[in-house]
Structures are given as structure tokens and as C-alpha cells.
Amino acid sequence: MNRDAIGVFDSGLGGLTAVKALNELLPNENIIFFGDTARVPYGTRSRQTILRYTKEDIAFLRRHPVKMIIAACGTVSSMLGAELPVKDMPFTGVVYPAAEKAAEVTENGRIGVIGTPATIRSGSYETALHSVNPHLDVTAMACPLLVHLVEYGYTNRNNQITRLAAEEYLTPIRKAGVDVLIMGCTHYPIIREIIADIMGDGVKLLSAGEEAAQYAKICLEQQDLLTDSTEAGHNIYYVSDSVSSFRDNAKNFLPDAEYGQVFSSRI
């Protein structure tokens, strides 16, 4: 048993969707979240820059007592691929857990993926999906505007700006006849209702962050690293930019959470 925290990082606030899932799955665990809000988004950066940012984000979390690290960022996970940047404790990104779940639940073998330009350019989801089942038909689409729209709070189901952008990106995937759509950026579940409206009832939506949280639970159980505390865990949040901006926008991701412990910190 281990009472250290689970460390979670993201380029911005999208990783809070993974934190939400962890809070629901493992309510007694402590979580330390770092959002690199000063440098969001990562998805338009070069691979070299993204990997440098990733190294710095991990180093920040390791300054705290953590027992596992989750890269709750589709872009980071895609750049890492199967590489494990942390060797002495459990580590996961979001790509492989989501790919395994999608391959498991698809009925027609057609899977859609949406993500940042860097994620889609990397081909990481296609690689992960085909490693599970080489016969899967994958349709991937970069959605460069959606992270910005979510970060700035354009998340209402009836918001016409976000709806028009999502329609533009999702139409080719819908026409491909997919029955599963991987939301390959942890920001996208915040506009799940918009995405569901456009894709239709016959398409299962998978949250990469939620699948990573499920994987983390299994991993911690297998390695006997779950806390033995019977008290509710607590979250501590760090951001690399404005705390007040975090408080304003975080309610879109964790609407019922208390943001008492939020700190601004340089990496």
C-alpha cells in the first residue's frame, strides 16, 4: 500500500477529465495535477519541443511524492509512442488504453480518431490500434480549433461556433461509417454532447482520459500501490500561468470540485 499521490499532467486543462475519472474510480487517492497553461496548446508544436516540454512536466511532478504518472495529453502520448520516459514507477499515456478499448468494443471494425494536429500527424492511434487488430479501418482527423474553444469556455451544447467547427471536422469521419470515435485529446469530452449530436446515436464515444484512468486503477491494483487510507483523497492543482484563469475555466472540466489548493509554479 502506498499513500503517495497519483501525478497527472497536461498541456492545459484537458487532463482534468482524467482527474475527474480518477476521483470517481479511486476516491481515496490523492492526486497532484499540473497544467502547463502558459504553453498550451502542445498540438501545434514540433516533436522536439513537445518532448522537451514533456520532460520538464515530468520533472515537475517528480518534485512531489508521487507513485504513478499519467500523461493526460493526447499530443504528449502520441509523441512518446511506446517509449516510457519514467522507469522507476508506473507510467501511462492515453493512446494505448483508448486504442485497446476501441478495438474491444467496435462491431464493424471502423474506428474514428480526433486529436490535435501533432497527434494525428504522428499516426500513433493507427499504430496502437493496428497492434491490437491489424484489420481495423481507422479514419483520423486533426481538429486544431477545438482545444482553444474548450480552453476559452465555448463548451455549451448550443454554442454555434464550436458546433460549426466540430461539424467541419467530424463530417468525414461520420461518412466513413465508424461505430466508435476516440476523442484523442482530453479536452474533447467537455464538448461530448456536441460531438454526440453530430456523430449520431450509433457511434460510441471513448474518452482517452477516462480510459487512461481505468488503466491506472488496474496498474496500481496489480502492483499493490493503492492507498490503504479510508479517508477521501484530495487534489492539489498546479498551473504554469494564471491561477485565477484556471479557477474560471476549470469549472468546465470539474464543475463540482473545490479548487482550494491551486498554485502557480514555474517548471
Which are the catalytic amino acids? 73, 185
> Residue 138 contacts by C-beta under 8 Å, 6 or more apart in sequence?
111, 112, 113, 125, 126, 129, 130
- From CA 238, how far away is CA 245, in angstroms rounded? 12
Hey, what's the cell of 93? Answer: 499515456
> Residue 48 contacts by C-beta under 8 Å, 6 or more apart in sequence?
none
Please state the three-class secondary structure of 60-98 as a single string.
HHHCCCEEEEEECCHHHHHHHCCCCCCCCCCEECCHHHH
Three-state SS at 23? helix
Go through 175-187 and write b for each residue having 16 or more CB atoms within 10 A of its CB, e for each that does not: eeebbbbbbbbbb
